[in-house]
Chains A and B, each alone.
Chain A
Amino acid sequence: MATEITSDVVTSALPASAEENEVRRNAFQRLLRDPQAVITGSIILVFIVLGLLANVIPAHGPNEVVLSATNAPPGTEGYPLGADATGRDILSRLLHSINTAMVAGIIGAGIALIIGMTLGLIGGYFDRFRTPVEWGATIIQTFPGLLLLIVLMPLTGGDYRWTMAIFGVLLTPGIYRIVRNQTVGVSRELYVDAARVSGVTDFRILGRHILSVVRGPVIVATTFLFGSAIGTQAGLAFLGVGSKEIPSFGSMISDGFRNLYIAPSQYIWPAVALGVLNGAFVLFGNALRDTFEGARPKAEKIEATAVVEGFAADDVADSGQLVQVRDLGIAYRSPGGHLNEVVRGVDLEIRMGETLGLVGESGSGKTQTAFGVLGVLPAEAIVTRGSVRLEGRELLGMSQADLNRLRGSSIAYIPQEPMANLDPVYTVGRQLVEGIMASTQVSKAAAKERALELLGRVGIPDPARTFGAYPHEISGGMAQRVLIAGAIAPKPKLLIADEPTTALDVTVQADILDLLRDLQAEMGMGIILVTHNFGVVADICDRLAVMQQGEIVESGTTVEVFANPQHSYTKMLLNSILDEETIRTDPPMAAAGAREGAR
């Protein structure tokens, strides 16, 4: 056993780096550093202040009609923005419209927030309320939104506050869905289970563990709804729903629009104000989202792995090996822009008919190395140095088309999670046929025949049935056999298996390892097997290479390394294995004094 390494393992990851401090800064501080949030937030603030000063700045009331001022141009004494067709001060109406818009937003978004949040928390957390609450949300969503607001005019009398209250109810499903999904997600987290086990009440769990997660997305959504409520109120006022006495962007646009030929500028003021305010809310919401939920995923073009600028494959003599990896380096760009190498100068060699185990703990770079050889690294990865040769041909820097040809014929891959590696919408058979046709240019019928034959070869009892099944209809072990069938279809020379049995039960694992062994004996391919399990290595690998922090620290034949490990890391790993002989033998201790001991 390896008790002695306890202390240094525990303390090694503790020192907080500058980057972690950065993360810990709270959301509000981060928001203040985001120019988009600051600018749009300020615009909203300015609007609010202007609205509050609506009775102070202009010289006239919003409904004060002065006939002599009819259609006064901007700049007229007392009418800085002019007056409308009935002689009312445009500036005054504009500022009062801000208040109308804000009240509309507060009522609409507020009601949606309160009802949606409550329903979402209840429906998401308590299983027994989920179905009725879901029904309620579906019913609300079925009301024909704006049409309902108009149909219900006899009820609301067109008062915009009532209309917005109904609109708020109509918006609740949006908030509800967000809160419910987040709540369901969090309630499945084990820390919520742990809190329940500790006797924490449901109410406290909702307040302490769930609300803190739900908060961010809800604030973001409410900001968008605020904008949406303002827009809708303006739209309804434009149609003429509501009192003519209440100044609103919508009614001002409508008035100005009718007056288009006489005073073309009148509709521009309210339209610009509405556009700017609405835009400010949307952009502010976007900035909030980036702050609370992190930047959204960036789109990346998927293509052959990028190589570092000025990259030239190492000029190595062809050693006659099937695969020869020399000094391979793979890096990712840090937020600061410099390259962090996760694979640092790896050398590997594989002969035909040989199985190489690539062993290491999480984060050792073993999977990255395998993807590097396959040429399917994530788009963000960059190859910094080295050379990967398959039968003497350099793979690094090869074009996507050439790589595709090679993958279809010489290199194949078996993944870790069988279910995630089948496309859920196509039958197993269709996916196999697609792969076969991509690599061998045979007819569809021939490809189907080959697929059935392969399914039989990998030990699937009823190939025809599995051929027609969708991935969700077969077990994990069967799915892995299907993926193996797909991989061996072109009779590859090199098979790269990335933890092919980790997601499977041990009894299934044993069968899959047997299958791989048989297939290798039959087809003579070289296999790179990435794994963390020394049992698997002992079972199937001829040679192994141990990786630690991106480097290979030891390699040799399996028998040799197991019997006589050289590197201290290998020794430590082998020592950590729970061997067959260690059986717990000490008796359970007497229960007396157990509680005292625990205190």
Chain B
Amino acid sequence: MLLFTLRRVLFGIVLFVIVSFTTMWLLSFSFDSIIGSKLGAAANVDSIAAMKADLGLDRPVPVLYVEWLNNLVHGDLGSSFFTGQPVIEALPSRLAVTLSIVGPALIISAIVAIVLGTLAATRGGAVDKAAQGLMLTGYLIPNLLIAIVLVVVFAVNLQWLPATGYTPLSEDPGKWLQSITLPVIAMAFGGAANMANQVRGTMIDELRKDYIRTLRTRGVPMRAIIIRHALRNAAGPALTVFGLTFITLFGAALFIEQVFALPGFGTYSFNVALQGDFPVLMGLTAWGVGLTIGVNLLIDVANGWLNPKARQY
């Protein structure tokens, strides 16, 4: 199990290097225009070349990358071209905002999905039909639209909750809860629909398997069979979808933050990208890729723990 985990971690590091390098390489094509926008009116071929040499961006991408990676290992992501603020300081507070809506949304989606999916798969009939209807609705409506409807109904018309803005948890837990309620609901809708459908499908497959019948013939009550065996076996595939949903929600948060004017990762990255602030963009990439890989790693390890067969590899 330890070896398995170690191999996964190593694999994750290799992936991180490949993906972050590719991103830097892609961005290197637009160095000229980035510097052009930094120089503004003073931009011409000579001044751009001079500035490029100044910032060290005239060197080959592999050299730049090794330097960036080396700094990263030492906890330095460089400073913003525009504000001079160290990148490493700029990101965590924004990430906290994003995670404080993505995290709860993911947990709520997972709980709803497991309950709804299991109910649909084990009850059948009308319960199944109703659950499937709910899931379909979640699919049908883009969460951007759900967010807007929520703002219009609960914030603008009913004025129950704030439409925009964010209060950190450390400042006022009550207000924090109010500020994340609508965004979380908007995101959980689609996430739950996606996962519930998966849970339902896997549970139906699982309940049709031969070992379920054998357990029934041993006099094990159906409730125990569903919870202890079917759900436990369905957990593996469900976990994979759980990981994918996290990444999807992280992406969806970019829109949702905009609707609710939350000062999160998405809003920040959008502004940074408009300016072409290269060090900050690379910092964002590092965080984004790191989170994706980290979540996948956790899922893999959890899967190895859930499934005795997977541990062998």
Tell me whether A and B are bound partners.
Answer: yes
Nearest chain B CB to A43 CB, angstrom units: 12
Nearest chain A CB to B245 CB, angstrom units: 12
CB proximity to B under 8 Å, residues A375-418: 376, 379, 400, 404-409, 411-413, 415, 417
Nearest chain B CB to A291 CB, angstrom units: 17
Nearest chain B CB to A403 CB, angstrom units: 8
User: Is B66 an interface residue, CB under 8 A from the partner?
Assistant: no
CB proximity to B under 8 Å, residues A136-190: 138-139, 142-148, 150-155
Nearest chain A CB to B105 CB, angstrom units: 15
B259: which A residues are within 8 A, CB to CB?
Answer: 257
User: Is B181 an interface residue, CB under 8 A from the partner?
Assistant: no
User: Is A425 an interface residue, CB under 8 A from the partner?
Assistant: yes
A153 touches B247 (CB 8 A): no
B121 touches A143 (CB 8 A): no
Q: Which residue of A lies closest to B214 (CB)?
A: A421
Given the known inter-chain contacts A148-B285, A302-B122, A420-B211, please indicate yes or no for A435 contacting B219, CB distance below 8 A: yes
User: Is A361 an interface residue, CB under 8 A from the partner?
Assistant: no
Cβ 8 A contact of A260, one of B156, B248, B276: B156
Whole-angstrom CA separation of A153 from B274 in the bound complex: 7
User: Is B207 an interface residue, CB under 8 A from the partner?
Assistant: yes
Q: Which residue of A lies closest to B312 (CB)?
A: A472
B217 touches A407 (CB 8 A): yes
Chain B interface mostly helix, strand, loop or mixed? helix
Whole-angstrom CA separation of A282 from B136 in the bound complex: 9
B124 touches A235 (CB 8 A): no
Cβ 8 A contact of B270, one of A150, A301, A415: A150
Nearest chain A CB to B55 CB, angstrom units: 15
A302 touches B207 (CB 8 A): yes
Nearest chain A CB to B262 CB, angstrom units: 13
User: Is B273 an interface residue, CB under 8 A from the partner?
Assistant: yes
User: Is B74 an interface residue, CB under 8 A from the partner?
Assistant: no
CB proximity to B under 8 Å, residues A425-452: 425-426, 434-435, 438-439
Given the known inter-chain contacts A296-B201, A299-B120, please indicate yes or no for A235 contacting B140, CB distance below 8 A: no
Of A64-72, A271-279, A459-467, A518-526, the one with at least 4 CB within 8 A of chain B: A271-279
A154 touches B270 (CB 8 A): no
CB proximity to B under 8 Å, residues A277-319: 278-279, 282-283, 286, 296-303
Nearest chain A CB to B25 CB, angstrom units: 10
B219 touches A154 (CB 8 A): no
Nearest chain B CB to A451 CB, angstrom units: 12
Interface size class of A (residues with CB under 8 A): 35 or more
Whole-angstrom CA separation of A250 from B258 in the bound complex: 12
Q: How many residues from B make CB contacts under 8 Å with A?
A: 83
Given the known inter-chain contacts A154-B30, A278-B142, please indicate yes or no for A408 contacting B218, CB distance below 8 A: yes
B18 touches A139 (CB 8 A): yes
Q: Mark each residue of chain B from 222 to 245: 1 if its CB lies under 8 Å from any CB of chain A, else 0.
A: 101000110011000000000000
Q: Which residue of A lies closest to B163 (CB)?
A: A260
Q: Mark each residue of chain A from 215 to 257: 1 if its CB lies under 8 Å from any CB of chain B, else 0.
A: 0000000000000000100110011110000000010010001
Instruction: In the A-B complex, list the 5 residue pairs whose CB atoms are closest, starting with the nearest.
Output: A408-B219, A144-B288, A146-B251, A413-B217, A435-B218
Supply 10 further A-B pairs (C-beta < 8 A) apart from A152-B273, A153-B273, A299-B121. A142-B18, A148-B288, A240-B270, A297-B205, A298-B204, A415-B213, A421-B211, A424-B309, A439-B218, A439-B219
Q: Interface on B for A, CB 8 Å cutoff?
A: 15-16, 18-19, 22-23, 26-27, 29-30, 33-34, 120-125, 128, 136, 139-142, 144-145, 148, 152, 156, 200-201, 204-205, 207-222, 224, 228-229, 232-233, 247-248, 250-252, 254-255, 258-259, 265-266, 269-270, 273-274, 276, 281, 284-285, 288-289, 291-293, 296, 306-309
Q: Interface on A for B, CB 8 Å cutoff?
A: 138-139, 142-148, 150-155, 231, 234-235, 238-241, 250, 253, 257, 260-261, 264, 267, 271, 274-275, 278-279, 282-283, 286, 296-303, 374, 376, 379, 400, 404-409, 411-413, 415, 417, 420-426, 434-435, 438-439, 470, 472, 483, 486-487, 489-490
What would be 6 A-B contacts, judged by CB atoms less than 8 Å apart? A142-B19, A145-B247, A147-B250, A155-B27, A299-B124, A299-B204
